[in-house]
Chain A
Amino acid sequence: EAGVAQSPRYKIIEKRQSVAFWCNPISGHATLYWYQQILGQGPKLLIQFQNNGVVDDSQLPKDRFSAERLKGVDSTLKIQPAKLEDSAVYLCASSLGGGTLGNTIYFGEGSWLTVV
């Protein structure tokens, strides 16, 4: 079974530029997550989709971050304009259902962003 696919794996941009990350979840998984992982910290949830609807975006900095999940499958996360503190690994994850109890969350390998 194919895992969660993410691209690009690595990106270096200058501050104030924009960047977009793409994610393809495990086939059949209704729930998709974007996490931000700053070096030396645990992942932090940015946004959670259930099919193509947003369940939780309470920690998404909406002035610069946006995400969409068209047709309930693939998703893109965009940052515009980027700040130095956005340097992190952006992890996409998916699970079969919503909620965490009884739903294993599978992570992709991440997209490493460096803002200079």
Chain B
Amino acid sequence: GENVEQHPSTLSVQEGDSAVIKCTYSDSASNYFPWYKQELGKGPQLIIDIRSNVGEKKDQRIAVTLNKTAKHFSLHITETQPEDSAVYFCAASIAKLSFGAGTTVTVRA
């Protein structure tokens, strides 16, 4: 099955700085790569996704890049704010989602 690795496991950034989370996947057939944000006591919420026929996608302060050849994809958050503090999960999918282990992001005021 698909194996997704996510780094780093924790990330602390100063408010206003950028945060980058990286994921690699094992199955070259994966064609859909969503990113979820999970706040304490809540379920994961989709924040952005990208399909395998697209290299980059941006939504306001959030962007995702995909390198199919290297089988890795990344989440970029610019101008971080305290409300960006949460656990972020990447996932890769052929028919079902396989999640990474998560990155705990802390934005310091």
Contacts and interface: CB of A to CB of B under 8 A. Distances in A.
B61 interface: no
17 contacts: A4-B43, A40-B101, A41-B101, A42-B89, A42-B99, A42-B102, A43-B44, A43-B97, A44-B99, A91-B44, A93-B43, A99-B95, A100-B32, A101-B31, A104-B49, A108-B43, A110-B42
A14 interface: no
A108 B101 CA distance: 19
B42 A105 contact: no
Given A105-B46, A107-B44, A109-B41, A45 B97 contact: yes
Interface in B9-60: 31-32, 34, 36, 41-46, 49, 51
Task: State which size class the interface on A falls in.
Answer: 20 to 34
A74 B46 CA distance: 22
Interface residues of B, number: 24
A51 interface: no
A107 B102 contact: no
Interface string B44-88: 111001010000000000000000000000000000000000000
A107 B43 contact: yes
B105 interface: no
A88 to B, nearest CB: 13
B96 A48 contact: yes
Given A40-B102, A107-B43, A107-B45, 8 more contacts: A4-B43, A42-B99, A56-B95, A100-B97, A101-B31, A101-B51, A105-B34, A109-B41
Interface string A71-106: 000000000000000000001010000011100111
